[in-house]
Structure 1
Amino acid sequence: MVTLGSRVWCRVEKTCRHLPIVLNTVLVFSITAEVSYLVVVEAPLEPELKKSDWSSTWKSIHLFAQYFMLVNITWNALLFLKTNPSIRGVFLGGDMVGQGWRYCYTCETHTPPRCSHCYDCNVCVLRRDHHCVFFGQCVGFRNYRYFLSCLFFMWAGLLYAVVMNAEVFIVILKEGVTFHSFMLLLVPWIMLVTGQVTAQAFAFAFIADTCVIGFLLVSAFLFFHVGLMVRGQTTREWYSSRRPYSLGILANIRECLGECWFLCWICPLIPSVLPGDGIHFKVTGSLEPVR
């Protein structure tokens, strides 16, 4: 018999599992709204430029770039969640079992090289890289392209937001910096609790700080995964210092992004067929960890 406590715990666990996705969505759209406000209302242009036709053109270009990045982030994220990287629906039996294959006692099947079991998804994932907490799904063979593209446009969008906030902040500095404005950017929560600033000023300061911190974190994550891609590694192989499947820089990129690797990152609608099947991999080095 299921107790009330168990049912409550299951409900809380399911809610918390989707919490990172909700927070990510709120932050992305909050940053977009804040930057849109900065472009439309607080655009850091010289007074003579604000009165010219260039002002409208400048705002249109910035808004187009911003929403182009937002659409790409959203679309890639949806395709990432929709694309199943697991072994479900994949035939793994027959005479294919060979070097590098293992038996998963949880899934009760033989699994190919670079495939491992995810206890969060409760299934084995082809060319598993890691379980992404922010999306609640594993990064694997079929959805790695969408993961990298989403990461790239998040990085570009945060960089854009940081630049826009910096330009506005420079304009404020020209008018004179005060201890109040400095503390607002440094500790916005304390300024709000003590009643030193309005809720609107706190919201802009908090989002500006979030953009900077988010940009630094996403930059580290993006550059790490780009490094893995060009070396032909997964995160697990990086931990064990192995590079047995590296085919060269261009071939490694093609393995992750597909045949149209040079163009597909611009838009998720551009087709780019992956050269492999996620089961067979050409071994070019030692399968043993480097000591």
Structure 2
Amino acid sequence: MVKMVNFGNKVWCGMEKGCRHLPIILNTALVVSITAEVSYLVLMEAPLDPALKASEWSAHWKTMHLLAQYFMLGNITWNAFLFLKTSPSIRGVFLNGDIVGQGWRYCYTCETHTPPRCSHCYDCKVCVLRRDHHCVFFGQCVGFRNYRFFLSSLLFMWAGLLYAVVMNAEVFIVILKEGVTVHSFMLLMVPWIMLVTGQVTAQAFTFAFIADACVVGFLLVSAFLFFHVGLMLRGQTTREWYSARRPYSLGVLANVRECLGEHWYFCWLCPLIPSSLPGDGINFKVTGSLEPKQ
């Protein structure tokens, strides 16, 4: 009986660990599939202008688009890697309890005093400096040291999805010029039903599904990106936005510098560009009321 219980616990722990990595696996599969589809469209279908296809500019056009696409893919991948590698938690950070002041709290789970804008994450099982939210897609909190990489990966993901949507739109415009049919409309709206009923091939379903995923993903990432850009400009975290507080806003440029670092104006172009943050994630200049608005 004890062996069965231990075996069940091991199976459950293995499933729990696997589920934690499932969002990362799904996102990776989606990014790879979108990249593969756009690469196919660039190499095999585009340029769509027949006159351009027959000219020497065709190779230059394809090279330019492929370089842009893989530049965005490289930035997404490297920013995501640095985001996961850079922990915003209080582990390894010296918190001097003798200078506890306004905004400091005591965390009974971590058994230590924590500075302002720091809160405990029950998923990460640790307190996080300048905690914004727990990102389920990466399985890590967004906080003080990794906010730049989070924003940059969102930015290039948005640009990559926009690029994919435009490429797919050009192909569909050509299809629409040849005439809209119920079959093509249903393929775009309900590709799963068309596949199950045997109305389309697996290849046509794959392209339609990825095209739909690009549109939906672009809308979701757009909303998420613009929301966080707005928070950065206002000097807020998501938790402070919920309570309608702006006690740490230093002005637009200073707020951007607080998130992206001293080289804020071009560090977002590449994650390898060093850009040290002006603060330490512990002490913050208070410019407004710390109490939530009624």
Shorter-chain TM-score bucket reads over 0.9
How much does 1:45 deviate? 2.2
Paired with 2:51 and 2:131, the residues of 1 have a C-alpha distance of 55
- Report the equivalent of 1:43: 46
| 2:63 equivalent in structure 1 | 60
| 1:41 partner SS | helix
Relative to the length of structure 1, the TM-score reads 0.98
In the alignment, the residues of structure 1 paired with residue 123 and residue 286 of structure 2 have an alpha-carbon distance, to the nearest angstrom, of 29
- SS of aligned partner of 1:131: strand
Match of 1:11 among 9, 14, 29: 14
Match of 2:35 among 29, 32, 37: 32
Q: Which residue of 2 aligns with 1:122?
A: 125
8 Å Cα contact 2:233-2:252 kept in structure 1: yes
Q: Which amino acid aligns with 1:103?
A: Y
Partners of 1:263 and 1:93 lie apart in 2 by 35
Distance 2:274 2:245 in 1: 31
For structure 2, the 5+ residue unaligned runs are none
CA–CA distance in structure 1, aligned partners of residues 214 and 57 of structure 2: 28
Q: Cα deviation per residue 1:233-260 (whole Å; 9 max; x = unaligned)?
A: 0000000111000000000000000000
CA distance in 2, matches of 1:263, 1:53: 34
- In the alignment, is residue 257 of structure 1 matched against residue 267 of structure 2? no
Q: SS in structure 2 opposite 1:110?
A: strand
How far apart in 1 are the matches of 2:72 and 2:129? 29
Q: TM-score, normalised by structure 2?
A: 0.97
1:118 CA drift (Å): 0.2
CA shift, 1:94, in A, is: 4.3
Does 2:269 match 1:269? no
Question: Is 1:108 equivalent to 2:103 in the alignment?
Answer: no
One-letter amino acid of the structure 1 residue matched with residue 172 of structure 2: F
For residues 192 and 44 of structure 1, the distance between their equivalents in structure 2, rounded to whole angstroms, comes to 29
Aligned counterparts of 2:199 and 2:217: Cα–Cα separation in 1:
26
Kindly indicate whether the alpha-carbon contact (under 8 Å) linking 1:151 and 1:218 is maintained by their aligned counterparts in 2: yes
Deviations 1:56-87 (A, max 9, x none): 11111100000000000000000000001000
Letter of the 1:121 partner, please give it. Answer: C
State whether residues 83 and 146 of structure 2, in contact with CA within 8 Å, keep that contact through their aligned partners in structure 1. yes
* Partner residue, 2:203: 200
Match of 1:85 in 2: 88
The answer on whether the counterparts of 2:47 and 2:58 sit within 8 Å (CA) in structure 1 is no
Residue 187 of structure 1: aligned partner: 190
Whether 2:96 is the aligned partner of 1:132: answer no
* Aligned amino acid, residue 237 of structure 2: T
Task: Give 2:233's aligned residue.
Answer: 230
Report the counterpart of residue 219 of structure 2 in structure 1: 216
> CA separation in 1, counterparts of 2:244 and 2:224?
18
Distance 1:94 1:138 in 2: 24
Question: Residue deviations 1:153-176, cap 9 Å, x none?
Answer: 000000000000000000111122
Q: CA RMSD in A?
A: 0.9
Q: CA deviation at 1:125?
A: 0.3
Find the aligned partners of 2:49 and 2:263 in 1 and give their Cα distance: 43
Q: In the aligned structure 2, how far is the partner of 1:148 from the partner of 1:3?
A: 42
Report the residue type matching 1:205 in the other structure: A
CA shift, 1:96, in A, is: 2.4
Q: 2:164 maps to what in 1? A: 161
Larger displacement relative to structure 2 (41-50 or 186-195): 41-50
Q: 1:192 corresponds to which letter in structure 2?
A: L
One-letter amino acid of the counterpart of residue 23, structure 1: L
Question: Are the aligned partners of 1:44 and 1:167 in contact in 2 as well (CA < 8 Å)?
Answer: no
Tell whether 2:240 aligns with 1:248.
no
Paired letter, 1:166:
A
1:115 offset after TM fit, Å? 0.2
Q: Distance in 2 between matches of 1:115 and 1:15?
A: 29
Q: CA deviation at 1:4?
A: 3.1
CA contact (8 A) 2:47 2:61 kept: no
**What code does the residue aligned with 1:203 have?**
T
Q: How does 1:145-160 map to 2 (within 5 A)?
A: 145-160=148-163
Q: What's the secondary structure of 1:113's corresponding residue?
A: coil
Structure 2 distance, partners of 1:285, 1:84, is: 28
Task: Work out the number of aligned pairs and report it.
Answer: 291
Q: Distance in 2 between matches of 1:139 and 1:241?
A: 19
SS at match of 2:228: helix
CA distance in 1, matches of 2:101, 2:185: 63
- Once the two structures are TM-superposed, the CA of residue 3 in structure 1 deviates from its matched residue by 3.5
